Amino acid sequence: MFIAGFPAGQLAANCYFVGAEAGGECVIIDPGQDSAEGVDRLVAEHALKPAAILVTHGHFDHMWQAQVVADTFDAPLWIGAADRHLLKDPMAAISNQSASMLRAQFGMNDLPDFREPGRVNEAVEGSVIEIEGLTVVVDHAPGHTPGTVLYRMEYAGDEDVSQLMFSGDFLFQGAIGRTDLVGGDHSEMLESLRSKVLPLADDIVVFPGHGEQTSIGRERATNPFLLELQDDAAGGDA
């Protein structure tokens, strides 16, 4: 199995590549700000054939160049239905004040012409994305944004790992995504953690949108938010 990635842009959002093998079809996950050059480099270096662009949520640091990458490789783009409108207007996901600060801080006064790429599919609960040798399952996990989705796939190559999960800004090593931005909802985040994360197997490796990889087992044992949910469940059963 082929897995690669790199942090892109001033917020160092992780852009990932996954395929059955080098030299074959792959999915590209979250090609965000300033990612296109790195995408081109990895595609050429490993003779990859991008077959789908997967966006975990509509924040600019995760989909800034998703349209460009999708059209460059004539690949369909998948994004959560409730975040689809952000392809055309990513600044709608943050306050006007924050948008102005970002433009000033990151030199984004001349914004790109945001638009939908040629082919868009809405990633909804239970969607299945299939490419050569790889099947990706979608879990809808609102909380960080209304359209946040997780992408899970079976892992071939290590008997100690059953699946890979690409979590965007939903779940990090020791933390969870913010819920104080436009569209965020803390109660929805907790319910998504309860229903989408806690039932998963411990041996699933999690690739977050920022920072280092982790596992469901590690987060179940150490993440304060998951620990609190488990304590609440145990108290309810008492």
pLDDT along the chain (238 residues), means of 10: 94 96 97 94 97 96 94 97 94 76 65 84 97 97 98 89 97 96 95 97 98 98 97 75
Domains of the chain by residue range = 2-237
Q: What is the predicted pLDDT for the residue at 106?
A: 62
How would you list the strands of the sheet with 214-215, edge to edge? Answer: 128-131, 134-140, 149-154, 163-168, 205-208, 214-215
On whether the pTM is more than 0.85, the answer is yes
The overall longest dimension of the chain from CA atoms, in Å, is 58
Residue 57's closest CA among 137, 167, 161?
Answer: 167
Residue from 75, 85, 87 nearest 19 by CA: 75
Q: How far is Cα 214 from Cα 174, in angstroms, rounded to an integer?
A: 9
2-237 has which fold? Metallo-beta-lactamase; Chain A (3.60.15)
Report CA-CA distances (Å) from 90 to 4, 36, 63, 132, 168: 26, 17, 8, 31, 16
- Gap between the Cα atoms of 91 and 116, Å rounded: 15
